[in-house]
Amino acid sequence: MDLEKRNKLINKLIELLKDKDRDTREAFAWALGELEEEKAIEPLCKVLLEDEDPIVRKRAAEILGEIRSPRAVKALIVALKDENPSVRKAAIEALAKIKDKRAIKPLSLLIKGEKNEEVKYKAEWALSRIYEYNPQNPLKALIEKLKSIIYSEKNG
């Protein structure tokens, strides 16, 4: 596909992210993700933070994780506070895939205050992935220390 046709397709898919039908929004978010297009990151972040349907927000987080762009990190961090645990878990998984150190503190805070055990476990897992990757934090012992600090503050 030539560049002009690709750009027209991407613009049309972005436009369809505003469709009234949830299944349509979810399908076109997925299609954008398949193209792994940087131009899609901002509209997908908007969907993640503003769509009324948690299924669509979850899909947007998953797609942002597949694209793995650091440009999505801020929106994914905001999504850690989503009311829906499935959206929070998808945002956590996306942050783990991107492995950006900006996610360390928000994930740590999430672990400290999260009531949903699955979400908490997923955040712990994501931290371990980020720490393994981050050359500034090569010691896995830091993860255990962080966990002990979080849990001692929570229980003490």
The pLDDT-based confidence of 141 (bands split at 50, 70, 90) is low
Q: Of residues 140 and 115, which shows the higher confidence score? A: 115
Q: Quote the crossing angle between the two packed helices 22-35 and 3-16, to the nearest 10°.
A: 150
pLDDT, tens digit, 9 for 90 and up, residues 76-125: 999 999 999 999 999 999 999 999 999 999 999 999 999 999 999 999 99
Task: Identify the pLDDT of residue 68.
Answer: 92
CA 117 to CA 2: how far, in whole Å? 47
Q: Of residues 121 and 144, which shows the higher confidence score? A: 121
Contact 88, 119 (CB under 8 A): yes
> Residue 112, Cα to own-chain centre: how many angstroms?
19
Can you give the pTM of this predicted structure? 0.78
Residue 135 in tokens:
């050359």
Q: Of residues 13 and 148, which shows the higher confidence score? A: 13
Hey, is 156 helix, strand or coil? coil
- What residue ranges define each of the domains in the chain, with the CATH number in brackets? 3-155 (1.25.10.10)
Task: Identify the pLDDT of residue 1.
Answer: 64
pLDDT, tens digit, 9 for 90 and up, residues 7-60: 888 888 888 788 898 898 888 888 887 777 778 899 999 999 999 999 999 999
Task: Identify the pLDDT of residue 154.
Answer: 60
Give the count of beta carbons closer than 10 Å to the beta carbon of residue 15.
11
Residue 137 has pLDDT above 80, yes or no: no
CA 48 to CA 41: how far, in whole Å? 10
